[in-house]
Structure 1
Amino acid sequence: MGEITAEVLVSRLAEWGVDTVFGIPGDGINGIMEGLRRNRDKIRFVLVHHEEAAAFMATAYAKTTGRIGVCLATSGPGGIHLANGLYDAKLDHVPVLAITGLQESSVLGTAYQQEVNLDRFFADVSEYNQIIMNPAQLPALVDVAIRTAYARRGVAHLTIPNDIQVAPAGKDPYQTVAPVVAPSTAPIYLAPAVRPRDADLRTAADVLNAAEKVAILAGIGARGAGALLERVADTLGAPIVKSLSGKMVLPDDSPYVTGGLGLLGTKPSEDLMEDCDALLMLGTNFPYTKFLPKPGAAKVVQVEIDPGRAGTRIATDVPLVGDVGATLEALLPLLERKEPKHLRRYQEKVRDWNERMSSLESADRDPIAPQYLAAQLDALATDDAILTCDSGTIATWAARHWRIRGRREFYLSGTLATMAPGLPYAIAAQLAHPGRQVLSLIGDGGFAMLMAEFSTAVRYRLPVKIVVNNNNSLGQILWEQMVLGFPEHGVRFGEPVPDYAAVARACGGFGVHVDKPGDVPGALRDALAYDGPALVDVAVDPNEPPLPASVTYEQAKKFATSFLKGQPHQGAIATTLFRDKIQQLKG
């Protein structure tokens, strides 16, 4: 057999710099798998256990490298399984290419086995979405798909019928008169250097210069502009709040940083949003508007690369369309230096907050406090460690007790906030950065969803370290029910409690279970020292609440109401809350 169309697909991906494809074979993509086999010196195929994990891995690969991530699934149910991971990429604005199979073109529309219109299914999640129906069109459509994914920071999808995959490369079976669209001569995407107009920059500077108490809210869009960001903060005497996705934009010990915002944030950040008279938003579309300044309380300048997103969360006085780094570089000479009185006040508040958080990281608490577990992982990890995280209470502990310092990075499902990406993210990050320490702090609920991927880590000999914060429950939902005034229902898994350490050992990796605080540091050290995939399953206090920085009267009232309605763990929860308060007072 000569060169087939699937080989052209793989070669073109390689020319675009793709070196890894995540997926699972199936009869709908056997031709593509053959193309990968014939070109295995160009592209590494990573075999996973679930297509959802493949999509998460592609998303994490894009997040951690800045290059397009690629996932592959068969027709029908295989393609459907990609959806959750692809929505994660869409909502966090990272470039991912999904490739799926399709039944032979001659049977499409006949309700053939596993026939699903995947182009229609992916219509909402994708920025570019095409069926390849002619081998001659493939190279050009690969180019358009990848360029679009980069340009629009989202998902592109190509679905290819079985017969097209194995057709002779470049053959046009229809002998059309129209010329074949030629592929790009240079398969490369050059991002434009977007800078706001001078008049808009001047207007923004006037607003910021006139304000007395400026606050900055920085998101992941400010990544790489940390030094400029600190210069702006120093000039304006402005404290900096970081979104959760933007946690790695600046070190947590920066003198300008107040921490996060929202349910997972800090009290100084909340106070700042109520206190400022001007807010500079940089590369963030922060969704929780109730934590932002009240309408009319502060002038708002927003730097946003996508003009369609500027002003969607809060009324914006001056939208600046541009890259954060290029914008700050142009804006900085226009800003007037302010006295740092406002900044110093928040530096004092941050010191007090950090003392409160440190008091909850006590080794004396039994059952194990999740804050202590997160703090120990933070203390033992390297300064260039990459931490991936899942959604739920675990995100609270990571947000507050995992400190960004040195070259550390932090990744989670930001806007979609889905469960289960922690482990797949770690695998992709380790493949992308083989020389760095990669850790995942993940809840038992999220780990259980895709725990078969630990076997993937073992098979590829990836030294990822998985720490399971095991409260044997869906902790975030438990506390949400209580804050709504409902007795808990359907959130505790009960007996028997799975032994995730045994699962890790059964897969061929390191696994240890910990249920005593004194054993936590040693277990983590052993896992970090192990030459291969390691898992530490830690039984933490299931009644530890991920309390917001400030508890409102309504939240407190409904929380109390849930107790009166028959909360089955009143005693344990009350004891934990009491001990938290004692620890804070002692601290």
Structure 2
Amino acid sequence: MGAIAAEVLVSRLADWGVRTVFGLPGDGINGIMEGLRRNADRVRFVLVHHEEAAAFMATAHAKATGEIGVCLATSGPGGIHLANGLYDAKMDHQPVLAITGMQETSVLGTEYQQEVQLDRLFADVSVYNQMIVNPAQLPSLVDIAIRTAYARRGVAHLTVPNDIQVADAGQQPYELVAPANPPVTSPIYLAPPIRPRDDDLRQAAQVLNAGDRIAILVGIGARGAAPLIERLADTLDAPVIKTLSGKMVLPDDSLYTTGGIGLLGTRPSEELIEDIDTLIMLGTNFPYTKHLPPPGKVKTVQVEIEPTRAGVRMPTDVPLIGDVSATLEALLPMLQRRPNRRHLKHYQAKMADWRTNMAALESASRDPIAPQYLASLIDDLAADDAVLTCDSGTVATWAARHWTIRGGREFYLSGNLASMAPALPYAIAIQHAYPGRQVIAYPGDGGFAMLMAEFHTACRYRLPIKVVINNNNSLGQILWEQMVLGYPEYGVRFEGPRPDFSAWAKGCGGFGTYVERPGDLREALREAFAFDGPAVIDVAVDANEPPMPGKIKYEQAKHFAEAFMRGQPHRASIATTLFKDKIQQLRER
């Protein structure tokens, strides 16, 4: 049997170091599946239950390893299903290659069954986007697609018609088309070392040396630069604020950090933003500008690897285009060390008070189970190099405040897209990449239900992920967002019987347990974490526990009260929970 074009495609992926492709077969990619079968010793195909999960897995692989993630879907609806996970990669600037099928070239344009022009559909999500129309384009277009995904930190897409997939490798599919010499490329990408210009560094140093009350805001783009960031904080007497995506950049017990920013952040961070006259932004494109200083209030230095993102969120006095580590290594010798720790000590005291307040909410005596207690137990029982993957929603608040970055711990979620459902597929992909590490998925019940079939994927591949479901039987974040707008909640609680996710876990061949009493929770988590295989711990938590912002604004409190007066259906239970929260915090004083 002669080689087919799909073999060239898969073989070139292997030449780039791709070892895993996440996907779901279909008649639009049967040729590519044959190419994978013939190269099974070089590239492993991970079969999923939904293409959206495959795209999330490719994104998580890229986030956790720094290597390109690859996902595969059939033509038409299969390719459409990839979109959400691919937008996650796009908005968090991760290198991902999506490969899709397409109808035979002879029927394109005839409204053939499942004929969707996926190259057009993916035009917005991709940095490189091509339909293969001739097998001679392979492997060059694979090289260009992957190189572009790395260089531009985004999604590349190749769609391959059925007849091209199975055409003789290296030959023209049509005899009437004269052969041409294809470009000669190489499966190599080298990231350029990026250091800002000396003049720009001197300007930045002037701004920072002149500052009196300085703060540092770090995002995931500063990952790997923690020692340099702490040196910068110590030199400038500047506390460090972390974005949610950048939570793992600096340990949570660092003497220099005030924790997160925004609705999921801390009160010290909010007060620090209101207090400063100078801000340095490191590797972040934090989108919520209402939590940043008003334009013109502070002097700003921004370190950003992508020139088009510099100055996007707020006026920037000195943009430094470069890698965070390389930039700080060049900048630090130019900075004047502050003689006292006045500014830092002030916010260290505030942060100590904040930690006391958060610890008070982690009460084992609360019934129903307080979600803060659940998050604190995960934090307490997890390994020092554990990876936590999180969904969007109230779970993101509990993870932000009660999951402690220490040792080699990591934390991943859908950042700028803030999609529901990635926690489970993220965990599967990361466990696949790092089989020796503890990987814990922390979804809400709403997010888990969307892609819960992928727990069966974990069981089939014997990936020992631990899935801890924060089950409030509602869409909790939307509930509170409705109330903050001044409206009573509507359409956000799943009335009727509560799904038994633990039974699903057992049915898949994994470990499953359901917990509704706080006294049973610690032992249930211990047992699940010790289980040699995938496990689900379905925990019924208090649905009336609000994810309160670090610092409550007047308008937020006003609208919350208006929701109560307009007929909030669970106002008595919510008021009781808030009262218990305050009592717990007062007891810690």
For Structure 1 versus Structure 2, the TM-score category normalised by the shorter chain is: over 0.9
Q: Distance in 2 between matches of 1:453 and 1:38?
A: 26
Q: Distance in 2 between matches of 1:516 and 1:118?
A: 49
* 2:551 counterpart SS class: coil
Alignment match, 2:446: 445
* 2:469 counterpart SS class: strand
Q: 1:182 aligns with which of 177, 184, 198?
A: 184
* 1:179 counterpart SS class: coil
The more displaced of 478-487 and 170-179 is 170-179
Q: Which consecutive unaligned segments of at least 5 residues does structure 1 have?
A: none
State the Cα distance separating 1:183 from its structure 2 match.
2.6
**What amino acid sits opposite 1:539 in the alignment?**
A
**What amino acid sits opposite 2:471 in the alignment?**
N
Q: Is 1:414 aligned to 2:415, yes or no?
A: yes
State the Cα distance separating 1:176 from its structure 2 match.
2.9
**What amino acid sits opposite 1:340 in the alignment?**
R
* 2:308 counterpart SS class: coil
Alignment match, 1:68: 68
1:389-422 C-alpha deviation (Å, 9 max, x unpaired)? 0000000000000000000000000000000000
Q: Distance in 1 between matches of 2:465 and 2:180?
A: 52
| Contact 1:274–1:294 (Cα < 8 Å) also in 2 | no
**What amino acid sits opposite 1:325 in the alignment?**
S
Alignment match, 1:197: 197
Alignment match, 1:504: 505
Alignment match, 2:574: 573
Alignment match, 1:552: 553
Percent identity between the aligned chains?
Answer: 73
State the Cα distance separating 1:317 from its structure 2 match.
0.6
1:399-410 residue pairs with structure 2 within 5 A? 399-410=400-411
Q: Distance in 1 between matches of 2:378 and 2:514?
A: 15
* 1:512 counterpart SS class: strand
* TM-score with structure 2 setting the length: 0.99
State the Cα distance separating 1:296 from its structure 2 match.
1.8
State the Cα distance separating 1:293 from its structure 2 match.
1.1
Alignment match, 2:16: 16
Q: Distance in 2 between matches of 1:178 and 1:60?
A: 39
Alignment match, 1:297: 297
Over the aligned positions, Cα root-mean-square deviation in angstroms equals 0.7
State the Cα distance separating 1:177 from its structure 2 match.
5.6
Q: Distance in 2 between matches of 1:359 and 1:180?
A: 66
Alignment match, 2:424: 423
Alignment match, 1:369: 370
Q: Distance in 2 between matches of 1:111 and 1:479?
A: 45
Q: Distance in 2 between matches of 1:189 and 1:391?
A: 33
**What amino acid sits opposite 2:583 in the alignment?**
I
Q: Distance in 1 between matches of 2:252 and 2:555?
A: 31
Alignment match, 1:123: 123
**What amino acid sits opposite 1:93 in the alignment?**
H
| Contact 1:202–1:334 (Cα < 8 Å) also in 2 | yes
1:241-320 residue pairs with structure 2 within 5 A? 241-320=241-320
Q: Distance in 2 between matches of 1:500 and 1:517?
A: 18
State the Cα distance separating 1:179 from its structure 2 match.
2.0
Alignment match, 2:146: 146
* 1:21 counterpart SS class: strand
**What amino acid sits opposite 2:525 in the alignment?**
L
Aligned residues: 585
1:134-159 C-alpha deviation (Å, 9 max, x unpaired)? 00011000000000000000000000
**What amino acid sits opposite 1:70 in the alignment?**
V
**What amino acid sits opposite 1:226 in the alignment?**
A
* 1:58 counterpart SS class: helix
Alignment match, 1:379: 380
Q: Distance in 2 between matches of 1:182 and 1:166?
A: 22
Q: Distance in 2 between matches of 1:387 and 1:2?
A: 46
Q: Which consecutive unaligned segments of at least 5 residues does structure 2 have?
A: none
Q: Distance in 2 between matches of 1:413 and 1:490?
A: 24
Q: Distance in 2 between matches of 1:150 and 1:402?
A: 31
Alignment match, 1:213: 213
**What amino acid sits opposite 2:47 in the alignment?**
L
| Contact 1:22–1:72 (Cα < 8 Å) also in 2 | yes
**What amino acid sits opposite 2:397 in the alignment?**
T
Q: Distance in 2 between matches of 1:447 and 1:306?
A: 34
The more displaced of 320-329 and 288-297 is 288-297
**What amino acid sits opposite 1:446 in the alignment?**
G
Alignment match, 1:522: 523
Alignment match, 1:397: 398
* TM-score with structure 1 setting the length: 0.99
State the Cα distance separating 1:380 from its structure 2 match.
0.2
Q: Distance in 1 between matches of 2:382 and 2:480?
A: 30
Task: Give the ranges of 4+ consecutive aligned residues of structure 1 lying more than 6 Å apart after TM superposition.
Answer: none
Q: Is 1:477 aligned to 2:478, yes or no?
A: yes
State the Cα distance separating 1:175 from its structure 2 match.
4.7
